[in-house]
Structure 1
Amino acid sequence: MQPPINPPHSVDELLQRAQQLAGLSLGDLATMANIQVPDNFRRHKGWSGQLLELWLGAEAGSKPEQDFPELGVELKTIPIDQQGQPLETTYVCYAHLTGINGMNWEQSNIRNKLSQVLWVPIEGCRDIPPHQRRVGYAFLWHPNAIQLRQLQQDWEELMEMIALGKIDTITARHGEVLQLRPKAANGKALTDAIGVNGSFIKTRPRGFYLKKNFTAEILNNLFSG
């Protein structure tokens, strides 16, 4: 088996590709793709997702659009424990810290990213070496009305704080299901943001993350259904 050359032509084909990987380890997939597995993921946070993108034929990369824009599907890997619960928050996308006047939820990048997600669970317990961690059974998810309302409410509250120049007062505790956290390769990376008096300040780039309680609900609904 080798990674596909072309992107999938339909959502069904994408789902089929993903589900065919269930039970295989990251080492299996890396070996077949002639890629070396890192000894740990401390310096390679996005490695699993990039490996899955290769095997599924994703083309968007880090662009501000869905991983499969022609299909309207975003790919998200999620590390889980032995009970099938998420081990960490899930990164969604970067947050705009300037030029946000007139921006609304319906047209936001995060709303677009989360409109349809292909979730791929992966064993994530730290006592399992990366090359031995197995890929779980992939599934498609659309947020229901309640979940959309929760996401929109958190996004609007966080964006209002950004617009009011309160970026440096936002912590990971803000938001019920969505949080805003620094997102950069290192702490020295800085970007423009709105200060308290309306002038620009320098701060660390921020990203939106789904909280574990939210992704746990998604997984629990799947297993209970």
Structure 2
Amino acid sequence: MSYPVFAVTVDLVVLTVRDGELNVLLVQRGIEPHLGRWALPGGFVLADEDLDAAAKRELAEETGLDGPAGHLEQLGSYGAPDRDPRGRVVTVAYLALLPDLPTPTAGTDAAAAAWTPIGKLGLAFDHDRILADGIERARSKLEYTPLAAAFCPPEFTIAALRQVYEAVWGEELDPRNFHRKATSTPGFVESTGHSTEGEPGRPARLYRRGDAVLLNPPILRRKPNG
């Protein structure tokens, strides 16, 4: 039997929170197709590597970020026949949630790499759709899992955790209500026994991620009107 020939790529939706805003890691393409346009980092899977290894390799090669040290999961697969002008290419997308990291450095076929605030970006290929799917996955994950802590350093304040929710969801949360929910939800966070030092105002307690896999009860977003 003969089988159709197609290539496999990986693309990464890498999200972080910088200066109170949700940012995505983008690369400017240094080669055709879509020369000069911004895109998600990614590339072709080599014949001798699995998908997870390809995702980590491409992230390091195109941005100089070795990792990720946060959360990485498969997001979905995208295989529209015309999604890549070079031929039939199926991509497996990954979602990474990371604490704030240094400015990335472009490499291999990327002309530049940058953290970019979420908005109407007009990305190459079908990357706008992949990015939208990744953002919605992240927003949903924050409701039912403790993955908001993946955006935080190993020790964090409840205020910093709340700012992650606000940045990812795009809505303000009541500080007292959020503090109560975060500290009373079993396994979400646990106190380190330490407090912030050298900052203006009253010292704040420091927490780390707990051992919960799911949040019960969940911390839910505000439902849109209508």
TM-score for the superposition, normalised by structure 1: 0.30
Q: Hey, which of these two has a bigger chunk of strand by percent?
A: 2
Q: Hey, which of these two has a bigger chunk of helix by percent?
A: 1
TM-score for the superposition, normalised by structure 2: 0.30
Higher Rg? 2
